[in-house]
Structure 1
Amino acid sequence: AEKAKKSAFSLETKFPAKLYGNLRLDTSYDEGEINEGNFARWVEPEVFIDDDEQFNMTARQSRLGIDFAGPSTPWLETSAKLEIDFFEGGKENKNTIQMRHAYLKLRWPQQDLNLLAGQTWDVISPLNPSTLNYSVEWFSGNIGYRRPQLRLEKGYQCGGNTRLLLQAAMVRNIGHTDAFSDVVDTGEDAGIPGFQGRLAVSRPIGYTGKEASIGVSGHWQREDFHTPDRDDHTEYDSQAGALDLTLPLTSLITLKAEAFKGKNLDMLLGGIGQGINMVTMEEIESQGGWAQLSVGPICNMTYSVGAAIDDPDDNDLANGARSKNTSYWANILYDINEAVTVGFELSKWETEYKN
């Protein structure tokens, strides 16, 4: 019999493609009941059981992606990205794939102009803190997520190494299922897209070898809620303004921070996940932000400490709603070698409820 040929992995594409990703195991111990378990969003109220300890272990944050390099000329560069993880759902040992990024990007380098079509990060509040917690302080002061969009970016050189960046995007209007029918997506039913924009200035800080940037961004989207008998509807706006800062203090120390203020921000993971008061049917205003100081790498170690807060307006909340969410964290990452990293994070979460 002919000897079986040894199989080998092969990835063939018409244009260059780079496969990347990581395999990751996260474990967590919580002194009280945390929503949602594998990662922290807020602390559940201790109505019946105090100090309800929990332990979680998951490989859901393992990630796989492909970067595609399309045909390019000195005038036009084309690229694309596809990235997934496993946080969509499913049993804890049978996780479901979640699409994170899927987009095509056209870049005109001589004009410093980009056009992006597909799903990726929001334009508003573009930074994320360096946490081991998968939710990177969403619902606790960090707003912005990923959604389908058509984005245009234009850069301008303003003398020396200073660069001005203008970003504008038309985005998928993602609301939530209608409070009465559980069928209609209130964002889809608005009949129009959402819009986001950002203006940022950046320049290298010579003595650090890194780039500093400051940005201001905004967001507007609309939801359409139907009445129980489906013969009338009410429209609600979601809007926010935000600031973001990246400031290298030395070659090893960097400060990052964001702040926001707006209303009906659950679609941006703000307002502690609360957008509309379902009793009064009014928008919930909220404000907050986060800041983090990172140090490293030093001897293969990187350290980060930070704090975050999301503070909805109590006057807009129903009794029992989440009225304030604060978190504090400190972590350390150690690179065992070029391919393997271990980390430890300690965090404190405090969630207040109205009345």
Structure 2
Amino acid sequence: MRRALLLGTVFVLSSSLPSLAASDYEVQQLREMIEQMRSELQQVKEENRKLREEIRSIKGRATSFKTAGAPSFKSKSGKSVDFYGYFKIDAAYSDSKAVGKDFILWALPETTNSNDDDFNLTFKHSRFGFDIKTKESDYDILGKIELDFYRTETNDIENTDPNKQVVRVRRAFVELKKDSWSVLAGLEWMLLTQLYPHLSNFPSGAFMGNIGYRIPQIRLTKWIETESGKITLQAAIDREFGQTTTPWYDTGSDSGLPDFQGRVVYDTSVNDAKIHFGLIGHVGKEQIDLADGGDKNLDTYSYGFEYKLGYGRFELSGKIWKGRNLDGWYTGGVAQGVLYVYDDGYFDTKYVTVDPNNGSKIKVANAKEIDAQGGWIELTTRISPKLIWRIGAGIDDPDNDDLKYNGQYVEGARLKNTMYYTNAFYKLTPSIGLMGEYLRVKTDYSTTDGTVNRYQGSILYFF
């Protein structure tokens, strides 16, 4: 049957060949077109082959590229290690003398080299750190160490030789998280200062209205989710730091007790507004040795309220506080926590063993704590994804009566310290940031007050 059909088809085609016949010229054109199409098809195949090889090559190299958020490298034990930080170069001009050069803490009285200006250029604010992360037995484990260059090797306020800088540990802790709990142990920011003002001037408002710094601690955190928001409960025991004159004696550790800190925070949102408010506080003791062979306990405590309100491009944040004996790492009372009365009649807010007036050795006969109160407020405006502008103010106000003995002020007593500032941060590229800041600090004294205006420009390279 198939053979018959084939013969029939050949007969029909043969009978129609005269009508389908083409000239030699037309046949040649068809052949050339076919050859051209064959050549173009071969080129397409070759391009496809090269493209496939390139894709395979890219896939093969993919593991060597670090994506955003991916670990920088692995530790010897296989832990993910993130290397992070930034370079920050600061140039600053101050029109009057102040305590500090790389950063300022308070202005000196105008009687001390009045209107004596100062220029400074430093890299010390640069920092780098490592996050070591892993997950074991349902625990998220984080180990962190972060360093900068603000360590000094002398008893001066700052070591100004740029060629002799050494690194300083800022943060060093391990944290375990599971479900809604976490435990942190090591050097980390106090619970008092989880919310802080954003200044280019390094100490972030220390002794100008913002209390708290970094301190060794063991901290417990509990998060509670509610229908309307989240509650954060935090408690910590910290190493109590007091006054010292020798490496082996400290009035804080001499008390035999740690410092206790607490924080309760509530975060929620109403329509498009984000709301954050919390209560903070601490309590602790110091112990000083007296000239009569006894000792005396000194209280330290604080309590305060923090808040942050965000809506659209705007954010208002701040803190108000009140406390006692807040010098040192508590960064309150304009660095005045205790008034010491010595056995030769000399009195000061400094803990010393030698009378600066005559060079004789002295011991503490009595002491009393200095109360203080203060706070800060800051408005942040996100003008664009690249530009942020801030304006703020702060005040640290010791109880002036506590700075007196027998009706007379301590020499050089700082009665109040106030700051006003504004700054802008512009992200030039994803890695380069530019920052400019104006800071005005006014310090009240029992004699002549002091005021300093500081203009600071910074360039940052994030990595």
TM-score normalised by length of structure 2 = 0.70
Question: Which residue, out of 103, 120, 126, partners 2:173?
Answer: 103
Question: Which residue, out of 192, 209, 219, partners 1:141?
Answer: 209
Alignment of 1:170-181 (within 5 A): 170-178=237-245
Aligned partners of 1:193 and 1:221 also within 8 Å: yes
Return structure 1 stretches of 4+ with deviation > 6 angstroms: none
Say whether residues 1:321 and 2:417 are aligned partners.
no
The Cα shift of 1:330 comes to 0.5
Q: Which moved more, 1:306-315 or 1:316-325?
A: 316-325
In 2, Cα distance between equivalents of 1:309 and 1:234: 30
1:18 alignment counterpart: 82
Secondary structure at 1:272 match in 2: coil
Alignment of 1:1-355 (within 5 A): 12-13=74-75, 14-73=78-137, 75-89=138-152, 90-93=159-162, 94-109=164-179, 112-160=180-228, 162-178=229-245, 184-208=249-273, 211-228=274-291, 231-248=293-310, 250-267=311-328, 268-278=330-340, 279=347, 281-298=367-384, 300-318=386-404, 319=409, 320-355=412-447
Secondary structure at 1:315 match in 2: helix
One-letter amino acid of the counterpart of residue 428, structure 2: I
Change (3 A) 1:299 1:146: closer
In 1, Cα distance between equivalents of 2:112 and 2:142: 54
In 1, Cα distance between equivalents of 2:83 and 2:271: 34
Aligned partners of 1:201 and 1:214 also within 8 Å: yes
Identity of aligned residues (%): 32
Deviation string, structure 1 residues 186-237 (Cα, Å, up to 9, x no partner)? 11111111100011111135425xx4210001101211111246x2211101
Deviation string, structure 1 residues 34-90 (Cα, Å, up to 9, x no partner)? 1111112100123242101111111001000111112245x3211111101111114
Q: Size of the alignment, in residue pairs?
A: 336
Aligned partners of 2:73 and 2:80 also within 8 Å: no
1:7 alignment counterpart: none
In 1, Cα distance between equivalents of 2:81 and 2:309: 33
In 1, Cα distance between equivalents of 2:227 and 2:220: 23
Aligned partners of 1:168 and 1:196 also within 8 Å: yes
The Cα shift of 1:277 comes to 1.2
The Cα shift of 1:297 comes to 4.7
In 2, Cα distance between equivalents of 1:221 and 1:26: 37
In 2, Cα distance between equivalents of 1:266 and 1:97: 25
In 2, Cα distance between equivalents of 1:287 and 1:307: 15
2:30 alignment counterpart: none
Give 1 or 2: higher helix fraction.
Answer: 2
Deviation string, structure 1 residues 117-168 (Cα, Å, up to 9, x no partner)? 11101012321111111011100100010000000011112224x1111100
In 2, Cα distance between equivalents of 1:172 and 1:70: 28
> Root-mean-square deviation (CA), in Å?
1.7
In 2, Cα distance between equivalents of 1:324 and 1:354: 10
Q: Larger C-alpha radius of gyration, 1 or 2? A: 2
Secondary structure at 2:276 match in 1: strand
One-letter amino acid of the counterpart of residue 169, structure 2: M
Secondary structure at 1:124 match in 2: helix
Unaligned stretches of 5+ in structure 2?
A: 1-71, 153-158, 341-346, 348-365, 448-463
In 2, Cα distance between equivalents of 1:189 and 1:96: 30
One-letter amino acid of the counterpart of residue 92, structure 1: D
Aligned partners of 1:58 and 1:92 also within 8 Å: no
In 1, Cα distance between equivalents of 2:382 and 2:161: 34
Aligned partners of 1:129 and 1:137 also within 8 Å: yes
Give 1 or 2: higher strand fraction.
Answer: 1
In 2, Cα distance between equivalents of 1:77 and 1:125: 25
One-letter amino acid of the counterpart of residue 347, structure 1: L
Change (3 A) 1:297 1:68: farther
The Cα shift of 1:182 comes to 7.9
Aligned partners of 1:77 and 1:108 also within 8 Å: yes
In 1, Cα distance between equivalents of 2:308 and 2:142: 26
Aligned partners of 1:125 and 1:244 also within 8 Å: no
Deviation string, structure 1 residues 222-259 (Cα, Å, up to 9, x no partner)? 11111246x221110100001110110x2211011001
One-letter amino acid of the counterpart of residue 170, structure 2: R
Aligned partners of 2:97 and 2:113 also within 8 Å: no
In 1, Cα distance between equivalents of 2:279 and 2:391: 24
